[in-house]
């Protein structure tokens, strides 16, 4: 072969080798994107049918002929892995970043339902933002994965500072929470589980797909065994002077950061309820916009969520019994119930019963009611729009349901 032909064939060979390398790199792109997350918890894996696997552990990426064929995940709370074909997956999100996305194909009726559900969610969110814009309300900004990571780093820097003052504190981290405590490690698992349950319950109530980010970074929970150290933390790091007898506080910053601090006390079930109660305030702060919901609704929601997640706690039923007696005696919800910046202690049992009544009446309309407030409506406007009835009529119906006829606001 002449030198000219030899050089030509060499050039072709080099070109072909480059093409093969390019094809190989493309074929391995999914595996490369997923490689850093093997053995770790993903945010969500969504199928073309609309089914979502939330907080699964990525166990393995399976390749065939140089291409990713499937992924093997372990669902949260399940002992055995599940294999998912890549062709059936539309999205994989890890560390708040979409690391794989593909257009849903086929799937028959289930695939069609999945596409319709995704399009409906996008349309509803866009419509919600338009209503907020019309009322002069700024929604919480959508954060990038880097912005979420930066906020988590800032929280961890804050934790380092706190641990210098309280060296017995240890850190446990979940997908949504950073739990910092001096409670023995063997005892904290049920408490952390109750926090995740609260998060999922409110996602379901408000129609937020599980796995979508709510917090700015994560929600930080600082839990002490000793009440005195809780007070010392509040005074030094949160600049709060609180009376003894307060078990926990949820600090909600205007920039979106949520830090909840508390002490355990002697009752484990009461502590679990309080964790859920206080962090639910932070969740409602972070949903949609910074618009505040009225205190009676905020406290009633927190009490209702607490009873759903920690049914063993008897605090709320006791408060409701006392509140029912109060309403029977006075025929009213008590002074400034609907407008007070902070409702009275006896009114907590009223607020939890009223929220329970509204949720039972129509769960979707209740979520619409809360959404309307977060979009800029007054509580009364939103209540009447959602439930198609006046506030006075709804309160009268509530009174009838609890055995207090002619109940007045």
CATH number of residue 96's parent domain: 2.30.30
Look up residue 367 and give its DSSP letter.
H
Q: Residue 389: pLDDT band by 50, 70, 90 thresholds?
A: confident
Q: What is the CATH number of the domain that holds 279?
A: 3.40.30.160
Point out the domain boundary residue: 223, 253, 287: 287
Q: How does pLDDT run across 123-160, given as a tens digit for each residue? A: 999 999 999 999 999 999 999 999 999 999 999 999 99
Same domain, 299 and 383: yes
For residues 255-276, average pLDDT: 94
> Is pLDDT of 367 > 70?
yes
For residues 20-32, average pLDDT: 59
Q: How does pLDDT run across 225-258, given as a tens digit for each residue? A: 999 999 999 999 999 888 887 899 999 999 999 9
Instruction: Flag whether 46 is in a domain.
Output: yes
Q: What rounded mean pLDDT belongs to the chain?
A: 90
Q: Which domain holds residue 171?
A: 140-287
Same domain, 253 and 348: no
> Is pLDDT of 99 > 90?
yes
Query: What is the pTM (predicted TM-score) of this model?
Result: 0.89
Burial string for 274-283 (b: 16+ CB within 10 Å, else e) reads bbbbbbbbbb
Same domain, 230 and 327: no
Q: What gap in Å lies between CA 398 and CA 400, rounded to an integer?
A: 5
Instruction: Flag whether 151 is in a domain.
Output: yes
Same domain, 281 and 146: yes
> Is pLDDT of 22 > 70?
no
Per-residue pLDDT, 13: 45
% the chain with pLDDT above 70: 91
Same domain, 243 and 306: no
Q: How does pLDDT run across 161-172, given as a tens digit for each residue? A: 999 999 999 999
The burial of 116, by beta-carbon neighbours within 10 Å (0-12 exposed, 13-18 middle, 19 or more buried), is given as exposed
Same domain, 363 and 258: no
Q: Residue 368: pLDDT band by 50, 70, 90 thresholds?
A: very high
Higher pLDDT, residue 18 or 170: 170
Q: How long a stretch of residues is the chain?
A: 409
Structure tokens at 313: 């706690």
Per-residue pLDDT, 359: 97
Same domain, 266 and 144: yes
Structure tokens at 177: 């929470």
Q: How does pLDDT run across 299-358, given as a tens digit for each residue? A: 999 999 999 999 998 889 999 999 999 999 999 999 999 999 999 999 999 999 999 999
Instruction: Please name the residue that has the structure tokens 């029912």.
Output: 324
Instruction: Flag whether 265 is in a domain.
Output: yes
Same domain, 362 and 267: no
How many structural domains compose the chain? Answer: 3
Same domain, 256 and 325: no
Per-residue pLDDT, 104: 67
CB 45 within 8 A of CB 55: no
Point out the domain boundary residue: 227, 258, 287: 287
Per-residue pLDDT, 26: 43
- Please tell me the chain's helix, strand, coil percentages from 3-state DSSP, rounded to the nearest 5: 55, 15, 30
Q: Residue 120: pLDDT band by 50, 70, 90 thresholds?
A: confident
Per-residue pLDDT, 106: 59
For residues 24-45, average pLDDT: 84
Q: What gap in Å lies between CA 301 and CA 356, rounded to an integer?
A: 8
Per-residue pLDDT, 234: 96
CB 289 within 8 A of CB 129: no
Look up residue 38 and give its DSSP letter.
T
Point out the domain boundary residue: 261, 287, 313: 287
Same domain, 323 and 393: yes
């Amino acid at each position: 072969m002449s030198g000219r032909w030899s050089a030509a064939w060499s050039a072709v060979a080099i070109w072909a080798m480059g093409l093969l390398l390019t094809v190989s790199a493309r074929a391995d792109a999914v595996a490369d994107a997923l490689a850093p997350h093997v053995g770790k918890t993903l945010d969500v894996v969504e199928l073309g049918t609309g089914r979502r696997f939330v907080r699964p552990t990525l166990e393995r990426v399976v390749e065939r002929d140089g291409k990713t064929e499937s992924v093997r995940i372990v669902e949260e709370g399940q002992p055995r892995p599940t294999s998912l074909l890549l062709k059936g997956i539309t999205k994989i999100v890890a560390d708040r970043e979409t690391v794989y996305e593909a257009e849903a194909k086929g799937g028959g009726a289930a695939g069609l339902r999945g596409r319709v559900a995704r399009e409906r969610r996008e349309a509803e969110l866009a419509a919600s933002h338009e209503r907020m814009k019309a009322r002069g309300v700024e929604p919480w900004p959508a954060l990038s994965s880097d912005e979420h990571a930066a906020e988590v780093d800032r929280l961890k820097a804050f934790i380092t500072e706190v641990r210098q003052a309280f060296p017995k504190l240890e850190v446990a981290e979940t997908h949504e929470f950073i739990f910092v405590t001096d409670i023995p490690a063997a005892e904290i698992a049920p408490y952390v589980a109750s926090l995740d349950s609260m998060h999922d319950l409110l996602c379901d109530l408000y129609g937020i797909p599980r796995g979508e980010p709510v917090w700015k970074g994560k929600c930080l929970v600082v839990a002490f065994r000793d009440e005195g150290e809780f007070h010392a933390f509040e005074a030094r790091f949160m600049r709060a002077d609180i009376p003894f007898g307060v078990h926990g506080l949820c600090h909600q910053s205007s920039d979106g950061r949520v830090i909840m601090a508390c002490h355990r006390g002697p009752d484990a079930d009461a502590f679990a309820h309080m964790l859920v109660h206080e962090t639910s305030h932070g969740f409602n702060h972070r949903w949609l916009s910074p618009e505040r919901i009225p205190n009676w609704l905020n406290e009633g929601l927190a009490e209702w969520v607490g009873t759903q997640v920690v049914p063993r706690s008897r605090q709320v039923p006791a408060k409701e019994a006392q509140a029912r007696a109060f309403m029977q005696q006075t025929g009213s919800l008590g002074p400034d119930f609907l407008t007070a910046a902070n409702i009275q202690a006896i009114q907590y049992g009223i607020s939890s019963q009223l929220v329970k009544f509204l949720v039972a009446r129509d769960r979707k309309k209740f979520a619409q009611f809360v959404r309307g407030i977060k979009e800029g409506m007054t509580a009364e406007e939103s209540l009447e729009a959602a439930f198609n009835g006046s506030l006075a009529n709804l309160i009268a119906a509530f009174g009838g349901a609890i055995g207090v006829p002619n109940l007045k606001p």
